[in-house]
């Protein structure tokens, strides 16, 4: 009986099958990298603003506390954006003729808020409350990075669910005394964050890690 296919066909079939497996695995790997890359997360990508506000200048240079501008961060789910009147407290006297600050002056004169572009923007299906994180000793640096060293503001972390769960599963590695939440330079005494974090978990009554990783905690 004559053979229909040449013996080489077996080799080609095997190469095609294994090649297909590696091709699919490669596509999955590429998709994984893209999903976690700044292209998707926008982490460390400068967001253009109507006014090139420098946290580095205002925080490090002038020593302005976060709460001076983000006044509701301790009491509200939202950190809040400062009204233009807050900016004009200084800029009615300082750089009051600067072309760069023209949008600030126009906003104040017309009583029209400046349309800032969001740097941190969670999906609508995610519930997040700034006030509870501040009350439990989560420092600004943990989520926002060293904004005091950012001439222009960018998102410091991915904010993907896995990143948030990393903290919720092991909060002790991030906690600090409440009076140090806004201190960008704070470091645990003796460098033992784990010991301090475990102590603060008891002090702040953070006892149920299971509850913090429950779906309902963030998706209500």
Q: What pLDDT tens digit does each residue of the chain (220 aa) get?
A: 555 666 666 677 667 777 777 777 777 777 666 666 776 778 899 999 999 999 999 999 999 999 999 999 999 999 999 999 999 999 999 999 999 999 999 999 999 999 999 999 999 999 999 999 999 999 999 999 999 999 999 999 999 999 999 999 999 999 999 999 999 999 998 889 999 999 999 999 998 888 999 999 999 8
Q: Do residue 76 and residue 104 come from a single domain?
A: no
Does residue 1 belong to any structural domain of this protein?
Answer: no
Does residue 3 belong to any structural domain of this protein?
Answer: no
Specify the pLDDT at position 58: 97
Q: Do residue 92 and residue 183 come from a single domain?
A: no
Specify the pLDDT at position 40: 78
Q: How many domains does the chain have?
A: 3
Q: Do residue 155 and residue 166 come from a single domain?
A: yes
Q: Do residue 73 and residue 16 come from a single domain?
A: no
Does residue 93 belong to any structural domain of this protein?
Answer: yes
**Structural domain for 16, as ranges:** 8-35
Q: Which long-range contacts (CB under 8 A, 24 or more apart) does 120-128 make?
A: 120/144, 120/155, 120/159, 122/159, 125/219, 126/218, 126/219, 127/217, 127/218, 127/219, 127/220, 128/77, 128/218
Boundary of a domain, candidates 68, 99, 115: 115
Does residue 30 belong to any structural domain of this protein?
Answer: yes
Specify the pLDDT at position 206: 92
Specify the pLDDT at position 26: 75
Q: Do residue 77 and residue 91 come from a single domain?
A: no
HSE on the CB side for 216, CA within 13 Å?
2
Specify the pLDDT at position 150: 97
Q: Do residue 126 and residue 194 come from a single domain?
A: yes
Q: Do residue 209 and residue 100 come from a single domain?
A: no
Specify the pLDDT at position 100: 96
Q: Do residue 109 and residue 65 come from a single domain?
A: no
Judged by DSSP in three states, 46 sits in strand
Does residue 157 belong to any structural domain of this protein?
Answer: yes
User: What's the CA gap between 141 and 61, in Å, rounded?
Assistant: 17
Specify the pLDDT at position 9: 64
């Amino acid at each position: 009986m004559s053979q229909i296919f040449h013996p080489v066909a077996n080799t080609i079939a095997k190469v095609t099958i294994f090649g297909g497996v590696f091709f699919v695995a490669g596509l999955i790997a590429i998709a994984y990298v893209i999903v976690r890359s700044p292209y998707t997360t926008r982490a460390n990508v400068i967001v253009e603003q109507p006014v090139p506000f420098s946290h580095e200048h205002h925080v490090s240079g002038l020593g302005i506390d976060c709460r001076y501008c983000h006044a509701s961060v301790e009491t509200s789910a939202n950190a809040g954006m400062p009204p233009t009147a807050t900016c004009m407290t200084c800029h009615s006297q300082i750089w009051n003729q600067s072309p760069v600050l023209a949008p600030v002056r126009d906003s104040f004169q017309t009583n029209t808020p400046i349309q800032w572009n969001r740097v941190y923007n969670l999906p609508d299906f995610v519930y997040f409350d700034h006030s509870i994180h501040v009350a439990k000793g989560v420092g600004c640096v943990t989520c926002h990075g060293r904004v005091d060293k950012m001439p222009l503001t960018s998102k410091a972390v991915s904010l993907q669910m896995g990143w948030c769960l990393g903290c919720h599963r092991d909060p002790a590695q991030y906690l600090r005394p409440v009076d140090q939440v806004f201190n960008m330079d704070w470091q645990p005494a003796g460098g033992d964050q784990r010991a301090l974090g475990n102590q603060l978990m008891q002090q702040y009554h953070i006892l149920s890690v299971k509850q913090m990783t429950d779906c309902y905690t963030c998706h209500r």
